[in-house]
């Protein structure tokens, strides 16, 4: 099932699921008892971020190709940092490039959306706490890393695009991850290359951080991280999930 959040008529954001109708993809409103009335065609609705995370936990340096590219040592445990919820935007929403930042970077990533309260979970049982998967762009202001803390660099407004929906059944992995800057492919790997897989990451994170439904874990970005500038369009596409596209504008 593909779960979306949408604003079709300027009213409150609603939740739905995507189905194939006689004239293309449609969205049905999704309630406690399951799918309900048809809200409209998918291409008629404005999609928002597919969840509202209270907590966003990110894993750094989780692909061997990025370690090699940046000449970093092999990690013995997942390296964690946080992004703030204010950074979340949905598909099609602009990423705002601060005027004082000379290098704003894209980082295409697989995002895990939590479905059930997760605390101190066992790695062998970790996936039952997952609602589904979506695409993410871990936007980073490289200039601001010099703060010593990554708060500004990772958590400014619009620095965490998510979407376009939550895929609850992406199929067997590994899943190919591709990032495009305009029409140019700038990152390409697959989730099977991750040093720490999703169950391991969830078990590690929840030893200290309780994750609630709707919370998000970003699993790291492969090699090819680079700058994006006002006027660019960045697409993060993951096989079996979908494609998340956001324009970049001057703040």
Q: Which of 216, 134, 130, 217 is nearest to 177 (CA)?
A: 134
Phi, psi dihedral angles at 31 (to 5 degrees) = -120, -170
Q: What is the pLDDT of residues 53-90, one digit of tens each?
A: 999 999 999 999 998 888 889 899 999 999 999 999 99
Separation of alpha carbons 140 and 163, rounded Å: 18
Which of 40-44, 115-119, 174-178 shows the lowest mean pLDDT across its residues? 40-44
Instruction: Based on the fold, state whether residues 172 and 127 are members of the same structural domain.
Output: yes
Same domain, 127 and 26: no
Shared-domain flag, residues 119 and 241: yes
Domain match, 106 and 27 both: no
> What pTM was estimated for this model as a whole?
0.96
Which residue matches tokens 């993951």? 238
Distance between CA 119 and CA 162 in Å, rounded? 24
Indicate if 148 and 228 belong to the same structural domain: yes
Are residues 168 and 39 in contact, defined by beta-carbon separation less than 8 angstroms? no
Q: Looking at the structure, tell me whether residues 9 and 103 fall in a common domain.
A: no
Task: Tell me, letter by letter, the H, E, C secondary structure of 61-110.
Answer: CCCHHHHHHHCCCCCCCCEEEEECHHHEECCCCCEEECCCCCCEEECEEE
Rounded alpha-carbon distances, angstroms, from residue 163 to 113, 134, 137? 11, 6, 9
**Is residue 129 domain-shared with residue 216, that is, in the same domain?**
yes
Q: What angle do CA 142, 234, 100 make, to 5 degrees?
A: 35
Give the tens place of pLDDT for each residue, 94-134.
999 999 999 999 999 999 999 999 999 999 999 999 999 99
168 and 79, same domain (yes or no)? yes
Same domain for 128 and 238: yes
- Residue numbers of the domain that contains 167: 56-250
Q: How many domains does the chain have?
A: 2
Whether cis (ω within 30° of 0) applies to the bond prior to 174 is yes
Residue 21: band (very low, low, confident or very high) from pLDDT cuts 50, 70, 90: confident
Q: Are residues 39 and 64 in the same domain?
A: no
Domain of residue 242, CATH code = 3.90.850.10
């Amino acid at each position: 099932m593909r779960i979306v959040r949408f604003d079709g008529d300027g009213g409150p954001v609603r939740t739905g699921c995507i189905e194939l109708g006689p004239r293309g993809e449609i969205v049905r409103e999704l309630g406690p008892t399951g799918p309900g009335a048809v809200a409209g065609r998918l291409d008629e609705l404005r999609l928002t971020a597919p969840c509202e995370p209270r907590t966003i936990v990110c894993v750094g340096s989780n692909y061997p190709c990025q370690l090699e590219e940046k000449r970093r040592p092999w990690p013995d445990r997942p390296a964690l940092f946080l992004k703030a919820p204010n950074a979340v935007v949905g598909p099609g929403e602009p990423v705002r490039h601060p005027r004082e930042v000379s290098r704003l970077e894209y980082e295409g990533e697989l995002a895990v959306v939590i479905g059930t309260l997760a605390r101190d979970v066992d790695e062998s049982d970790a996936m039952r706490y997952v609602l589904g998967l979506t695409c993410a762009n871990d936007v980073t202001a490289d200039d601001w890393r010099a703060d010593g803390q990554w708060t500004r660099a990772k958590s400014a407004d619009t620095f965490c695009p998510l979407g376009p929906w939550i895929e609850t059944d992406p199929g067997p992995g590994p899943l190919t991850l591709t990032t495009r800057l305009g029409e140019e492919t700038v990152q390409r790997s697959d989730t099977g290359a991750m040093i720490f897989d999703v169950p391991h990451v969830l078990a590690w994170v929840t030893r200290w951080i309780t994750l609630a439904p709707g919370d998000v874990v970003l699993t790291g970005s492969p090699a090819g991280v680079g700058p994006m500038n006002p006027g660019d369009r960045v697409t993060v596409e993951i096989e079996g999930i979908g494609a998340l596209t956001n324009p970049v504008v001057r703040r």
